[in-house]
Structure 1
Amino acid sequence: MTDDRVLVLDPNGADPDAEHRTLRERGPATPVDILGVTAWSVSDPALLKRLLTHRDVSKDGRAHWPDFDRTVPVWPLALWVTQQSMFTAYGADHSRLRRLVAPAFSARRIAALQPDVEALVNGILDGLDALPAGTVADLREHLAYPLPIAVIGRLMDVPADRREEFRTVVDNVFATHLTAGEQAANTAALYGLLDALIEIKRAAPGDDMTSQLIAARDEEGDGSALSGTELRDMLLLLITAGYETTVNVIDQAVVTLLSEPEQLAHVRAGRCTWQDVVEETLRHEPAVKHLPLRYARADIPLPDGRTIRAGEAILASYAAANRHPGWHEDADRFDATRPGKDHLAFGHGIHFCLGAPLARLEATTALRLLFERFPEARLATARHEVERLPSLISNGHTTVPVRLRPAPAG
């Protein structure tokens, strides 16, 4: 069944499961309103993979979205389409920008981070271990957040006293309940922090990604140098993508395992691994529900006879696609022992997330060590009472309240 009426997506993401079912029921792609912008939401995984690798689908709104100039001044999600990084680059520009950072995320370099990640997790858990028995801890705030912030902070050499400021403005980038004015102010604050970081690292470069990108900005003559705008926006991309998604993966996995103890029992009995838990979390509750935006450079026929016209926007609806009943049996059920856990949580094609191996390492390590240290951990409230983030992009919770040890008897 197809439906050409425009479905208005809930900016607060209050009931994403129901909304994603509606998207799938309306056909492989359907028109939606995302905070005032009309786009084709694609929820069929086969179609989405095809579009994510289609030569006539671009991420460069300046070049390929006729509504760019009219939309940007009034759209709360303007930063998602105005930044000039590999996130929005097309063709040769994308290849040039990706080459600059790809070596930092090689399999060898990520594997070498394992001891550092374990040490960071154990340090965080030491703090939680000191809490009195029966205390309720917010594991989003006190585990899911500090780990990836510390990791990306080290990789980028963000000064420790600036990391909390970065966290606040990055959180707001994903907050789709803010007005265009509020987002514009947040973007200005974010760029202010990035400019200050560039100034600090230009004065005192080191062995870190920020210094590497500054060096690429300052090189001349080989055609690969970054522009000033690209430097800021590549830093923006690496810092925002470097922690927000990992926070949500840890958050969702903890909530699921404590709500469905039989899944935790599978791991403890050796019927699946922590890597299985992370992959099923990425499939069942991907960190990003919808990712704005892509654009058709030419008319693209759809399987149901409709057409995405040249210049129209496309919204990759990853969460809806991951649970498509044609892709996975009993797709709405979390099952860490599921033999096939294919998903689109990290994208597909040339824009596949470079940081995926790092996110997997952090999440797997955090979960393994958490449940080794606190085998009696319990969710401190009913699952339906764990409040979702007010976002149609970010897929997490406002808090993850957990009682790490039972209160003493009497």
Structure 2
Amino acid sequence: MNQSLAYVLDVDGTDLPGEGARLRAGGSAVVVELPGGVRAWAVGHVGTLKALLTDSRVSKDPQLHWAAWKENRIAADWPLRLWVSVRNMFTAYGSDHRRLRSLVASGFTAKRTMELKPWIERITESLLDEVAELGRTHDVVDLRAAFAYQLPVEVICRLFGVDDAQRAGLRHVVDSVFDTTTTPEAAQANAEEMYRILTELAAQKRAQPGDDLTSAIIQADSERFGRLTDAEVVDTLILMLTAGHETTVNLLDQAVTAMLTHPEQLALVRSGERGWSDVVEETLRWQAPVAYLPLRYAVADIDLGDVVIPAGDAILAAYAAAGRDEAEYGASAAEFDITRAVKQHLSFGHGIHHCLGAPLARLEATTALRALFERFPDLAFAEGRLTPMSSFLSNGHVDLPVRLGREVSR
């Protein structure tokens, strides 16, 4: 880094909107300090971030293009190490990325996603039955724990072909990946446990393939790209697990929060003037489920006009900051408004690294929100203040305490 001073990110994520505003005010890119004293350039403007996400001079491969990584200046127990050390399409560059994405995409098809729709609807109704039962014995129900958290993990386990005995372990390791306040020792132990669980899953599916994404990824083959190695299969599962669970939990969390704190917007949906897809897209813009996504790297010097990102430096995509960029969304950027004209956002990435699981996340969210608010039309927050999660990556709440009110029979 060529700047002596750096903005130290709040690892507890106590004020992501305020922090995002400060980053945007700092210019096209701002040097920030991550846990462990690691520095990166945070980019929180939509236009700049879009340009960088499609720039061939920006890589996601630390082994090729991050000077600090290549020079062994990143500690072995760095809390965010798992985010950059895995070898999958998330951390690949150029032809290597094209190979990995092509093979994974051949298994994670639109057809496979849509085949999950009836099952997502069934598990949603089943979970709402459990929520209703909780409401009969408890005045206040934690909707994050009982509903928003449960649906994505059930979907990803179904998608992967995970059996019941493995699910609790998977839930625990995913939670720990997004906990940026964890100790280096705990982060390293969690990474090892995640590898163990998913290595066992991959071995099971090689021995006994099924109609699931794990088996499809293992079997994916092409004349041009061949097959994924055993290590690439496991690292790809890690990517899809971490990308497909916590992000959808937070999307549901923030969408419910938005609806319950903006009754006039909820009324537009109930009247039919707007749809649940409008709610989902505005939530993704207004409260990006992943506030920051580590990391990318400058392959060459990148001149942004007001600053130059030197070759070899790390770049941090500040999605939560970009979602409230007034240059893109106008003076009302900080407001939740499902009627706004500009609906595009970067919360699923952009360009060649755009999230393959975006259609599945949208399907889960629209299905779950529609069913929840139809089943409990008087849903309301209980008294008290919502507490943000202790993480600068994961943008959600510790819990969602609600009163269910009247239940509409199916």
- TM-score bracket for the superposition, by shorter chain length: over 0.9
Residue 15 of structure 1 corresponds to 15
Larger mean Cα displacement after TM superposition, 139-148 or 67-76: 67-76
Residue 61 of structure 2 corresponds to 60
Q: Aligned AA for 2:161?
A: D
Counterparts of 1:98 and 1:373 in 2: how far apart (Å)? Answer: 39
Are 1:117 and 2:125 counterparts?
A: no
Deviation at 1:160, TM superposition (A): 1.6
Please, which of 81, 84, 89 is the counterpart of residue 84 of structure 2?
Answer: 81
Deviation at 1:232, TM superposition (A): 1.1
Maintained 8 Å contact 1:133/1:406: no
Maintained 8 Å contact 2:107/2:216: no
Please, which of 152, 161, 165 is the counterpart of residue 169 of structure 2?
Answer: 165
Deviation at 1:81, TM superposition (A): 0.6
CA deviations over 1:233-255 (Å, ceiling 9, x no partner): 01111111121111000000111
Counterparts of 2:182 and 2:377 in 1: how far apart (Å)? Answer: 39
Percentage of pairs with the same residue: 50
Q: Secondary structure at the match of 1:257?
A: helix
Deviation at 1:223, TM superposition (A): 4.6
Please, which of 178, 181, 196 is the counterpart of residue 177 of structure 1?
Answer: 181
Q: Aligned AA for 1:262?
A: E
Please, which of 146, 150, 155 is the counterpart of residue 150 of structure 2?
Answer: 146
Maintained 8 Å contact 2:103/2:225: no
Q: Secondary structure at the match of 1:132?
A: helix
Please, which of 210, 215, 240 is the counterpart of residue 219 of structure 2?
Answer: 215
Cα 1:138–1:268, aligned 2, differ >3 Å: closer, same or farther? same
Maintained 8 Å contact 1:298/1:311: yes
* 1:399-410 to 2 correspondences below 5 Å: 399-405=399-405
Maintained 8 Å contact 1:137/1:402: yes
TM-score (norm 2): 0.94
Counterparts of 1:169 and 1:47 in 2: how far apart (Å)? Answer: 34
Counterparts of 1:314 and 1:25 in 2: how far apart (Å)? Answer: 17
Maintained 8 Å contact 1:134/1:406: no
Q: Aligned AA for 2:117?
A: Q
Residue 24 of structure 1 corresponds to 24
Deviation at 1:204, TM superposition (A): 1.5
Counterparts of 1:83 and 1:229 in 2: how far apart (Å)? Answer: 9
Maintained 8 Å contact 1:133/1:404: no
Q: Secondary structure at the match of 2:326?
A: coil
Q: Secondary structure at the match of 2:89?
A: coil
Deviation at 1:220, TM superposition (A): 10
CA deviations over 1:170-196 (Å, ceiling 9, x no partner): 111111001221100110111111122
Task: Could you tell me which runs of 5 or more consecutive residues in structure 1 were left unpaired when the two chains were aligned.
Answer: none
Counterparts of 1:105 and 1:335 in 2: how far apart (Å)? Answer: 32
Q: Aligned AA for 2:113?
A: I
Deviation at 1:322, TM superposition (A): 1.1
Q: Aligned AA for 1:71?
A: I
Deviation at 1:105, TM superposition (A): 4.0
Q: Aligned AA for 1:317?
A: A
Deviation at 1:202, TM superposition (A): 2.1
Maintained 8 Å contact 2:180/2:392: yes
Maintained 8 Å contact 1:105/1:357: no
Counterparts of 1:397 and 1:250 in 2: how far apart (Å)? Answer: 11
Counterparts of 2:406 and 2:272 in 1: how far apart (Å)? Answer: 25
Maintained 8 Å contact 2:103/2:227: no
Larger mean Cα displacement after TM superposition, 124-133 or 271-280: 124-133
TM-score (norm 1): 0.94
Q: Secondary structure at the match of 1:97?
A: helix
* 1:181-200 to 2 correspondences below 5 Å: 181-200=185-204
Deviation at 1:108, TM superposition (A): 3.6
Deviation at 1:406, TM superposition (A): 6.5
Counterparts of 1:292 and 1:60 in 2: how far apart (Å)? Answer: 11
Counterparts of 1:289 and 1:7 in 2: how far apart (Å)? Answer: 16
Please, which of 362, 366, 376 is the counterpart of residue 364 of structure 1?
Answer: 366
Deviation at 1:109, TM superposition (A): 3.4
Maintained 8 Å contact 2:43/2:315: yes
Deviation at 1:327, TM superposition (A): 0.6
Q: Aligned AA for 2:163?
A: P
Maintained 8 Å contact 1:280/1:336: yes
Maintained 8 Å contact 1:288/1:393: yes
Q: Secondary structure at the match of 2:32?
A: strand
Residue 393 of structure 1 corresponds to 393
Residue 289 of structure 2 corresponds to 287
Deviation at 1:120, TM superposition (A): 1.1
Deviation at 1:161, TM superposition (A): 1.8
Counterparts of 1:107 and 1:220 in 2: how far apart (Å)? Answer: 19
CA deviations over 1:195-241 (Å, ceiling 9, x no partner): 2212222221111111122334xx79965222222111011111111
CA deviations over 1:114-160 (Å, ceiling 9, x no partner): 22211111111111222317631111111111111111111110112
Please, which of 227, 234, 237 is the counterpart of residue 235 of structure 1?
Answer: 237
Larger mean Cα displacement after TM superposition, 366-375 or 335-344: 335-344
* 1:255-266 to 2 correspondences below 5 Å: 255-266=257-268
Residue 225 of structure 1 corresponds to 227
Q: Secondary structure at the match of 1:225?
A: coil
Residue 351 of structure 1 corresponds to 353
Q: Aligned AA for 2:182?
A: L
Residue 249 of structure 1 corresponds to 251
